[in-house]
C-alpha cells in the first residue's frame, strides 16, 4: 500500500463542545477528536496519563507522537515542559501535512498556545523540525509504518502517544507488528499512551511485553475506560497500582482479552492495505476458539 493510497480525503473543520476546533476526514469517515472536545480529549487522554512530573529530573525527555494531526497532544506536552524548563527531544510521525497547516491558520486553534509553542508548530509546518532552548524536534512525513525505521536506533522513548483513527477505520496502525515496533522503541519504564481500549490492541501490547493500565474515565458512568497505558518493564518490577488517573485492568477488561475481540490485526509484510488487514482478522476470528464477545457483553451487562 503506497502513501498515495492512504489519503485523508477532504478535510473539514468544526467546533467541538469545549469550543476547540477539530477536523473530519472524508476518507476515514471519522473525526480527529471526540465531539465532547478536542482540547479536553488531548488533556484527559494524553497529557494527564503522561504524568510529566515524574520525569522532571530526567536529563532530557524523549517523546514520539504517532499521528500528530493538528498537534494538540504534543502541543499540550510542549506547554507543560517549556513552563518547567525540562529539556525534551520530540519526534512526530504523520502522513498528511494539511491538519497542522489548517490548525495554525485557525484563530481558535492558535489561541490555545503560547508564543513559544506557536513558533514550534509553525516550524513543524514550514521546516519539519524545530529548536527551542535545549529542546528540539523532527517530524517524519509519510506512512508511520515505514517512517518509524528512520528514527535513529539510539533514541528510546519515555512517552509514545498513539492517536491513529480507530482500529476498524485505520487498522494498519494497530497491527501486532506495528505495535511491537512501537513497544521496542520504549525506554525501560517508558509509556505508550492511547485513547484506545480495544481488546485486540491491548492483547497485542501485552504480547509485546508491556504492562497494561486502563485510563480511568473522568465520569465513571460515561464509559468503562478512557484508553490504555502500556509500560515497558524496568529491572525492578513495575506493578501497576491504583492511581487517580489509571489503574490495572479490571476483571471485566481482563476477560475482554479472552474473547474474539482480542484477535489481533496483522500485517506481516508491513505494506498491507486496510482491506487486507481487516479481511485477515475477520478470517482468523471465524476460526478462533476464543469466547464469543457477545457472551462477554451479556455477562457484564454491556449494551454496545
Ligand atoms: C485522529 S487523527 C490525529 C489527531 C491528532 N493527534 C491531533 O491532535 O489533531 C489521525 C491522524 O493519523 C494520520 N494518519 C493516518 N494514516 C496514517 C499513516 N499510515 N501514517 C501516519 N499517519 C497517518 C492522519 O493523517 C491523521 O492526522
Q: Residue 220 — pLDDT band, cuts 50, 70, 90?
A: low
> What is the Å distance from ligand 1's center to 96 Cα?
7
How far, in Å, from the CA of 249 to the mean position of ligand 1?
Answer: 27
Domains parsed from the chain with CATH numbers? 3-9+36-299 (3.40.50.150)
Q: Are 273 and 267 in contact (CB under 8 A)?
A: no
C-alpha 303/C-alpha 298 separation (Å) is: 8
Q: 3-class DSSP state for residue 231? A: strand
CA distance 212 to 230: 5
**Tens digit of each residue's pLDDT (9 = 90 or more) over 254-283:** 999 999 999 999 999 999 999 999 999 999
Centre of ligand 1 to C-alpha 242, Å, is 31
The answer to whether residue 240 scores a pLDDT higher than 70 is no
Strand ranges across the sheet with 186-194? 129-132, 135-141, 88-94, 61-66, 157-162, 186-194, 228-231, 211-215, 246-248
**Phi, psi (rounded to 5 degrees) for 282:** -60, -45
| Residue to mutate (ligand 1; options 95, 174, 193, 274; most atoms within 8 A of CB) | 95
484477535: which residue's cell? 263
pLDDT at 2 over 60: no
pLDDT tens-place string over residues 16-36: 999 999 999 999 999 999 999
- Please tell me the distance from the alpha carbon of residue 138 to that of residue 112, in angstroms, as a whole number: 22
Residue length of the chain: 304
Grid cell at residue 49: 496519563
Q: Is the pLDDT of residue 63 over 70?
A: yes
Report the distance separating Cα 282 and Cα 137, nearest Å.
39
Amino acid at each position: 500500500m503506497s502513501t498515495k493510497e492512504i489519503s485523508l480525503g477532504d478535510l473539514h473543520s468544526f467546533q467541538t463542545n469545549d469550543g476547540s476546533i477539530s477536523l473530519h476526514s472524508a476518507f476515514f469517515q471519522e473525526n480527529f477528536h471526540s465531539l465532547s472536545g478536542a482540547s479536553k480529549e488531548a488533556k484527559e487522554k494524553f497529557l494527564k496519563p503522561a504524568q510529566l512530573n515524574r520525569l522532571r529530573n530526567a536529563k532530557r525527555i524523549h517523546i514520539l507522537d504517532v499521528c500528530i494531526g493538528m498537534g494538540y497532544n504534543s502541543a499540550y506536552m510542549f506547554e507543560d515542559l517549556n513552563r518547567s524548563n525540562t529539556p525534551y527531544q520530540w519526534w512526530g510521525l504523520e502522513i498528511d501535512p494539511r491538519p497542522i497547516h489548517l490548525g495554525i491558520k485557525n484563530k481558535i486553534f492558535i489561541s490555545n498556545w503560547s508564543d513559544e509553542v506557536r513558533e514550534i508548530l509553525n516550524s513543524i509546518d514550514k521546516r519539519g523540525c524545530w529548536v527551542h532552548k535545549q529542546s528540539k524536534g523532527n517530524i517524519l512525513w509519510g506512512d508511520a509504518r515505514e517512517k518509524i525505521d528512520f528514527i535513529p536506533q539510539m533514541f528510546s522513548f519515555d512517552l509514545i502517544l498513539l492517536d491513529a483513527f480507530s482500529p476498524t477505520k485505520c487498522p494498519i496502525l494497530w497491527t501486532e507488528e506495528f505495535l511491537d515496533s512501537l513497544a521496542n522503541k520504549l525506554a525501560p519504564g517508558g509509556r505508550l499512551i492511547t485513547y484506545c481500549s480495544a481488546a485486540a490492541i491491548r492483547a497485542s501490547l501485552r504480547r509485546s511485553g508491556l504492562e497494561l493500565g486502563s485510563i480511568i474515565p473522568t465520569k465513571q458512568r460515561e464509559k468503562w475506560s478512557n484508553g490504555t497505558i502500556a509500560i515497558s518493564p524496568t529491572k525492578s518490577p513495575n506493578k501497576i497500582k491504583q492511581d487517580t488517573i489509571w489503574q490495572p485492568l479490571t476483571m471485566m477488561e481482563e476477560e475482554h482479552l479472552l474473547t474474539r475481540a482480542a484477535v489481533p490485526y496483522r500485517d506481516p509484510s508491513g505494506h498491507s492495505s486496510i482491506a487486507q488487514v481487516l479481511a485477515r482478522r475477520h478470517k482468523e476470528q471465524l476460526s478462533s476458539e476464543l469466547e464469543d464477545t457477545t457472551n462477554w457483553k451479556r455477562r457484564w451487562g454491556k449494551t454496545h
